Amino acid sequence: MKSLEELLEKKWILRTADKDLYYRVRDDLGDIRKFATEKLGCQIVENSLLVKLEKIPAKPESFMGIEAFTSVTEYAFLCMILMFLEDKEVEEQFILSQLTEYISSNMPSTDAVQTNTPSATVDWNSYTNRRQLIKALRYSMLHGMIRITDGSDDVFMDASGGEVLYENTGASRYFMRNFTRDITEYSVPQDFEQSEWFDVNEDRGIMRRNRVYKKLLFSVGMRRENDNDEDFSYLKNYGKRLAEELEQIFDCSLHIHRSGAYLLLGDNCRIGKTYPEQSMLSDIILLLAAMIRERADEGALTIMQDETIHMDEFEFGNLVRECKEKYNSGFSKEFREMPTEQFVVTVTAEMVRLTFVEQENRTIAIHPIAVKITGAYPEDFMSKT
């Protein structure tokens, strides 16, 4: 189902952006909706503006955030943009100063959230604030929620008085998911994670099935949490049938191991972000994975009962340093010239983001997925270095 792949790959499909794809996906919604609701437990939003698959993960992961954003303020500005657009009609235009005035009047500070009082005015003379707002606006444009009709946002980036004319497309109203409860009742982030299962027995068959499919399709892989893991028990009992179904729908293969399960995609399958990516950082992690696997096979690293490898941060850092020293000549200029300690921090952070390793109390736990795929340079390359 190529149409299903399109919905999994994209945030949504806008009619104005790709009319042919929009109508093709709408024509296939019968089969797609059956899979989405029965297997994933996800709803399909369909209207004259767009078609969207509500991709709600079984468990939120760090890599699921907005990559372009590097601060909480950028997320806050995006929320302010969504609120501002709520009162705008489709194709209604507005200028940037209207948005900045709205944000200044309504955006709460940390103290304001705690005391339920208005915040101080946002300082638009600050280049940092202007840059962060532009990042949120550009993300909104990337996903077709607004469009520029006159001017350039670079003008505002340079000076607070710069004006830009925008147009609301109406898509922003479908950015946030619908909740069955009033989220103002929530007090901790875990409340959002649990909200999907309120008033439902989490271990009932249908909910367990939804979680398993979500973990396989929306996360890097599915990890066995403990001996009594109900989701993994479901996979053990129905894994063959599940694998056959997924392999009929997608160009993929399901690998089930004692400690985890992973969906490996073929060359013709595009259902979202995948690993490895076409990046130097992915290549470095593949090379590091080969070193870790080699040490484990030699018995130099102890594999725990749950198939994880534990070491302290310094020992893991030494492995990363050794990887840089051994393969540095094959790296791109950015990583060749990167200071060694910064290199260690960058590689470690990416592996944590991908859930390949866990970092806690100065200890690194390497999960089996980290060495599921390894990489190596050709022998003639190594002989030349």
Q: Encoding tokens for residue 364?
A: 């690194």
H helices present in the chain, as ranges = 2-9, 19-27, 29-35, 72-86, 96-106, 110-115, 127-142, 153-158, 190-195, 205-218, 230-249, 280-298, 313-327, 333-336, 340-353, 379-384
Which residues neighbour 293 within 8 Å (Cβ) at sequence distance 6 or greater? 371, 374
CB 123 within 8 Å of CB 129: yes
Q: Which domains does the chain have, with CATH numbers?
A: 1-56 (no CATH), 72-174 (no CATH), 189-269 (no CATH), 280-384 (1.10.10)
Q: Is the pLDDT of residue 103 over 80?
A: yes
pLDDT in tens, 340-376: 999 999 999 999 999 999 998 899 999 999 999 999 9
Cis peptide before 276 (omega within 30 of 0): yes
Q: Which amino acid is at 41?
A: G
Ramachandran sector of residue 286 (left: φ over 0; alpha: ψ -120 to 50; beta: rest): alpha
The region of weakest confidence among 145-149, 191-195, 270-274, 278-282 is 191-195
Q: Which amino acid is at 332?
A: S
Predicted pLDDT at 135: 97
Rounded to whole angstroms, how far apart are CA atoms 335 and 343? Answer: 7
Which residues neighbour 243 within 8 Å (Cβ) at sequence distance 6 or greater? 253, 254, 256
pLDDT in tens, 8-28: 999 999 999 999 999 999 999
Predicted pLDDT at 200: 52
Q: Could you tell me the pTM of the whole model?
A: 0.84
Predicted pLDDT at 318: 96
Predicted pLDDT at 272: 79
Q: Is the pLDDT of residue 76 over 90?
A: yes
pLDDT in tens, 279-296: 999 999 999 999 999 999
Predicted pLDDT at 117: 47
Residue 94's H or E segment, with its range, is strand 93-95
CB 263 within 8 Å of CB 216: yes
Predicted pLDDT at 115: 42
pLDDT in tens, 164-173: 999 999 999 9
- Least Cα distance to 367 among 220, 197, 267 occurs for 220
DSSP string over 15-80:
TTT-HHHHHHHHHTHHHHHHHIIIII---EEESSSEEEE----SS--GGGS-TT--SHHHHHHHHH
Predicted pLDDT at 168: 97
pLDDT in tens, 174-223: 999 877 778 888 888 777 766 665 545 555 678 889 999 999 999 888 88
β-pair partners for 222: 261
The region of weakest confidence among 27-41, 81-95, 132-146, 262-276 is 262-276
Q: Is the pLDDT of residue 226 over 90?
A: no
- Going by pLDDT thresholds of 50, 70 and 90, the confidence category of residue 112 is very low
Q: Is the pLDDT of residue 134 over 60?
A: yes
Q: Which amino acid is at 305?
A: Q
Rounded to whole angstroms, how far apart are CA atoms 271 and 227? Answer: 31
φ/ψ of residue 222, rounded to 5: -115, 120
Rounded to whole angstroms, how far apart are CA atoms 330 and 333? Answer: 9
Q: Encoding tokens for residue 29?
A: 């919604």
